[in-house]
Structure 1
Amino acid sequence: GETRFPVYDLVSTWYHEGVPGHHLQLAQWAHVADQLSRYQTTVGMVSANAEGWALYAERLMDELGFLANAEQRLGYLDAQMMRATRVVIDIGMHLQLRIPDDSPFRPGEQWTPELAQEFFGMHSGRPADFVESELVRYLGMPGQAIGYKLGERAWLTGREAARKAHGDEFDPKQWHMAALSQGSLGLDDLVSELSAL
């Protein structure tokens, strides 16, 4: 029943799902599959690695100036806020934690799906039906939201270590292609490999 489709919140999603996100990532894994184990290219898909790359790709496109106007940048920042919010919700609901007493939101109450929906709605520009579907997703896949952000952190840590190691000789384009050619690795191995590139 929708008749309007604003793109402000889609641009960073395109970078996440397309290029340089998952489309480029999975295509590169297929391209170098003969140099990697089956684990690294298919059966061993480490979600935190793959989704971490896609979040990193969104950030990279912002760093490179491809979020060309304020509307696109706000969409990207809204997506970042959504992901931070869902980490709080995922941890709170699955560990059945109480909201801290000094919180401006429902201090002292225990996280429930209803409180999570209210909190998410307050901290996201997303419509209510989207928020509800996201909560169902989090309840069915504990830790997924956290894995995205830990994976992004691993990619950023590896890049920074490589940049420090190479100094002025660091070539971002060469590093990114070598990084994408690693296939799917666990996060500790990923940081180690990325740092050594």
Structure 2
Amino acid sequence: MWDLVSTWYHEGVPGHHLQLGAWAHRAAQLSRYQVSIGSVSATTEGWALYAERLMDELGHLRTPGERLGYLDGQRMRAVRVVVDIGMHLGLRLPAGTGHAGATWTPELGRAFFGARSGSPAAFVDSEVTRYLGWPGQAISYKLGERAWLRGRDAARARHAAEGRDLDLRAWHTAALGLGSLGLDDLEGELARL
């Protein structure tokens, strides 16, 4: 239940709802690819994770429970990365997992995910099944978030070098106006805003 506030920020405002609304508003300025089938998972999910972090940075996770829910979500996303990469690359589980040296399988992925995320079994099963059907999508959340953060940091540094503060509201408006881009393009464009 503690994760509801950060989930709202992820799915609602300033997350996906705001993002997709901005893209719909700017549809005439975006490419046909961006408006129809061109959603890059890392850009889309990265924005939503960035939105969660932003709300934490701005002090909108007001209670210890809300902050714990946010951090628990971050833990789950970290576990996702490990399981997704391990299963798709056929890696061996590291020491300390209870299955050291074993090759990742869906069953071991479920066991690892469940033990480290505290998630209910039905959710764990659904997540691992999703990873198997959509390789790399689980990783895209964190990769995208990192691109948004690096882009923001680069824009801040550029503005500071010019003796100006970054107007975060204007930066977010311009950033969302870019539409969905690949990560290299996204990070470069964000840095220039």
Q: Same fold (TM over 0.5)?
A: yes
TM range (shorter): over 0.9
Q: How far off its partner does 1:66 sit? A: 0.8
Give unpaired runs (5+ residues) of structure 2: none
Q: Which of residues 155, 173, 176 in structure 2 aligns to 1:177?
A: 173
1:136 aligns with 2:129: yes
1:191 aligns with 2:191: no
1:73 aligns with 2:57: no
Q: How far off its partner does 1:94 sit? A: 0.9
Whether the 8 Å CA contact 2:97–2:112 is kept in 1: the answer is no
Whether the 8 Å CA contact 1:52–1:152 is kept in 2: the answer is yes
Q: How far off its partner does 1:40 sit? A: 2.4
* Residues in 2 aligned to 1:154 and 1:77: alpha-carbon distance in whole angstroms: 20
Q: How far off its partner does 1:104 sit? A: 4.2
Q: Which of residues 140, 145, 148 in structure 1 aligns to 2:141?
A: 148
In the alignment, which residue of structure 2 is the partner of 1:58? Answer: 52
Q: How many residues are matched?
A: 190
* Residues in 2 aligned to 1:182 and 1:145: alpha-carbon distance in whole angstroms: 23
Whether the 8 Å CA contact 1:49–1:151 is kept in 2: the answer is yes
In the alignment, which residue of structure 2 is the partner of 1:98? Answer: 92
Give unpaired runs (5+ residues) of structure 1: 1-6
Q: TM-score, normalised by structure 2?
A: 0.94
Superimposed CA distance per residue, residues 93-149 of structure 1 (whole angstroms, 9 cap, x where no aligned partner):
11111113x444421111111111111111113211111111111111111111111
1:16 aligns with 2:10: yes
Please provide the CA RMSD for this pair: 1.1
